[in-house]
Chains A and B, each alone.
Chain A
Amino acid sequence: MLKVVDLARNRINMQAVIKLSTLLDREQYLGRSLRVLDLSQNKLQNIGCESLALALCHNERLLYLDVSYNGLADRALYYLAEMLSHTSSLRYLAMIGNHFTSKVLFQLAKSICSNVRSQLQIMKMGLVECSEIEMTKFIQNGLVFSSLHYLHI
């Protein structure tokens, strides 16, 4: 059973990740076996990330996901937040080196709070722009009941 797939620093684009997403469905082979997926430094773009995040919403196996440096913007972060409101297995999520701002932080906080089964322990965001007010709201609303041990804003 394949547990670790490292595809960092390749040419995984939107089309490729959409195909990969179909294989990550919980009924599929990869969806049932994979624990670690590194897709950092590729070209997922927002639509590719949306497809991946939606596929992982109901995945109960994946522990580690890295989508850092993929040309993602706030729209992708919205879908990653949606994923975090559903998944209960993920422990590590890295998404640094994208173009995220604090505009979606409220949605992220809401997602983290709403998922009582979440086991997320490490989250690395690397926002390119963050207002102090939105960051304070995020910390107050998102972290109170969360399982996070390490947060890189």
Chain B
Amino acid sequence: MIDSPFRLRQLQITDSELVEGRAIQEVIRKSTQLQVLGLAGNWISHEFINDVFGALANND
């Protein structure tokens, strides 16, 4: 578990067969300055959208 916030502004995970959002959900949640999320060329579907973007909404 990651305890302190990140200063990450851009996260790119492309063409990596990424399916599940839980692996990066915590990174995104802790990256309070994140502006660019590049996830092109993966296997992202409904569950990922729920996990990752749902978490962002809950952070609001």
The answer to whether B53 and A20 have CB atoms under 8 Å apart is: yes
The 8 Å CB contact of A6, one of B35, B40, B49, is B40
B41 within 8 A of A: yes
Using A15-B46, A29-B56, A30-B57 as known contacts, say yes or no to A1 and B41 having CB atoms under 8 A apart: no
B47's closest neighbor in chain A, by CB? A16
Helix, strand, loop or mixed for chain A's interface?
A: mixed
A152 within 8 A of B: no
Nearest CB on B from A6, distance (A): 4
| In the bound complex, CA of A8 to CA of B38 (Å) | 9
The answer to whether A13 and B57 have CB atoms under 8 Å apart is: no
**Which A1-26 residues have a C-beta within 8 angstroms of B?**
1-13, 15-16, 19-20, 23
| In the bound complex, CA of A20 to CA of B51 (Å) | 11
Interface size class of A (residues with CB under 8 A): 20 to 34
The answer to whether B43 and A10 have CB atoms under 8 Å apart is: yes
The answer to whether B57 and A10 have CB atoms under 8 Å apart is: no
B38's closest neighbor in chain A, by CB? A6
A131 within 8 A of B: no
| In the bound complex, CA of A141 to CA of B19 (Å) | 45
The answer to whether A16 and B34 have CB atoms under 8 Å apart is: no
The answer to whether B57 and A23 have CB atoms under 8 Å apart is: yes
The answer to whether B40 and A4 have CB atoms under 8 Å apart is: no
| In the bound complex, CA of A5 to CA of B44 (Å) | 13
Using A12-B49, A13-B45, A16-B45 as known contacts, say yes or no to A4 and B56 having CB atoms under 8 A apart: no
The 3 closest A-B pairs by CB, nearest first: A10-B44, A29-B60, A16-B46
Q: Which residues of A contact B (CB under 8 A)?
A: 1-13, 15-16, 19-20, 23, 28-30, 38
Given A7-B39, A11-B44, A16-B45, 6 further pairs, Cβ under 8 A: A4-B37, A4-B38, A6-B38, A9-B40, A19-B50, A19-B53
